[in-house]
Amino acid sequence: MPRLRVHGFSLSLDGYTAGPDQSLTDPIGVGAGPLHEWLRATKTFRARFGKDGGEQGTDDAIAAASDAGVGATIMGRNMFGPMRGPWADDSWTGWWGGDPPFHHPVFVLTNHPRAPIALRGGTTFHFVRDGIESALAQAFAAADGLDVRIGGGASTIRQYLTAGLVDELHLVIAPVLLGSGERLFADTSGVQNGYECVELVTSRAVAHVQLARRRE
């Protein structure tokens, strides 16, 4: 069965998944850089940007597995871009340039209508206005038997979690303190009964925690 999964989503020790004040110059908020240091150091991530070298251990295996078997991605509007409200025009096509690293359909949750954007390399952004269940149904249909990944951010993952729709949740605990920002786990009471840890490993940089839906 295709699964809905979250993969490689980073949390600080104090529970933040992004810093405050997201903007064009701070896509993941101010001061949140250390959260993703583990990922930027991997061979897989560096290769995406044409760079040699990089970590080839646990973290790299996680980074490489992130795309494996995924046929569609769902993300929140704030992960797609820093602007809020109605789309002023069609100039913004995401943070990732003309050849985004998805290579499959991406469903962006938004309240504001916009036509799909097809970019190079197989990535098409679709804008979904009728809720998370609709986005999920469209994503599973587009994934054609493969898994669907929730890219983020925290609010989007939280909505799917509290709706009981997430099958696998892989979190990366970065041993840093951010002090403020956006939490993944806030008002998620009830979620605790649905998941259990199936794997816990550390690299030199971070702890990886794989949660799966608890078996009945």
Residues forming the site for its own copies (CB under 8 A): 11, 13-15, 31, 171, 173, 175-180, 183-185, 188-193, 195, 197, 200-202, 204-207, 209, 211
Give dist(CA 106, CA 135) in Å, integer: 10
> By C-beta, is 165 or 191 nearer to its own copies?
191
* DSSP-assigned letter for residue 12: E
Cα separation values, 88 from 3, 92, 114, 128, 169, Å: 35, 9, 10, 17, 34
Helices (H), 30-113: 37-40, 43-48, 58-65, 77-80
Minimum gap (Å) between residue 171 Cβ and its own copies? 7
Strand partners, 9: 171
Minimum gap (Å) between residue 52 Cβ and its own copies? 27
Minimum gap (Å) between residue 206 Cβ and its own copies? 7
Residue type, 92: W
Minimum gap (Å) between residue 4 Cβ and its own copies? 17
> By C-beta, is 115 or 186 nearer to its own copies?
186
> By C-beta, is 96 or 195 nearer to its own copies?
195
> By C-beta, is 47 or 165 nearer to its own copies?
165
Minimum gap (Å) between residue 149 Cβ and its own copies? 20
For 100, list phi and psi in degrees, rounded to 5.
-65, 155
Give dist(CA 108, CA 96) in Å, integer: 14
> By C-beta, is 31 or 105 nearer to its own copies?
31
